[in-house]
Amino acid sequence: MHYDGSFEVSASKEASYAFATDPEKITTIFPDVQDVKILDSENFKLKTKVGISFMKGTMDVKGNIAEKIPSSFVKLKAKANGLGSSIDLESGFSMEASSKGGTAVKWTADAVIGGLIARVGSRMIDSAAQKYIEQIISRLKQKLS
């Protein structure tokens, strides 16, 4: 599954990059997080509530900041396990100075879903994924504005 989009924020490119590369900060944008553990400057674990159709519960997520190009690009990778399922997520954020004085952010997200959640049906998964991504992007925009 692939998703992408773009948005602008008032924070500078440097401040946006600093936020995206700090595990203590970037973990604050994920919805329904019950627990966060920062392992080091690039790795974190969190426990989050999820619900897709009749499946509801928690997933354990291991995330890391996989690639950094100072002040212009960040790639995050995450692997979630729970509910008899797994989700591998890779997301990228490209940052450029905006003509309005802030930062223009282009993002991509690619997910591979396996196990019980994958059997729910692509329309339900896509709908739930869209909602989750919208919440993450909305929180990121809020933190950077």
Q: How far apart are CA 72 and CA 84, in angstroms?
A: 37
State residue 55's pLDDT score.
83
State residue 95's pLDDT score.
97
Q: How does pLDDT run across 53-66, given as a tens digit for each residue?
A: 778 899 999 999 99
From residue 55, alpha-carbon distances to 3, 22, 25, 110, 120 in Å are 23, 32, 29, 22, 9
Beta-strand relationship, 103-115 and 73-82: unpaired
Q: How does pLDDT run across 105-135, given as a tens digit for each residue?
A: 999 999 999 998 888 877 888 888 888 889 9
* Domains contained in the chain, CATH given: 2-144 (3.30.530.20)
Provide the edge-to-edge strand list for the sheet that holds 43-52: 2-9, 103-115, 85-97, 73-82, 55-69, 43-52, 33-38
Q: How does pLDDT run across 19-28, given as a tens digit for each residue?
A: 999 999 999 9
Q: Which 3 state secondary structure label does DSSP give 145?
A: coil
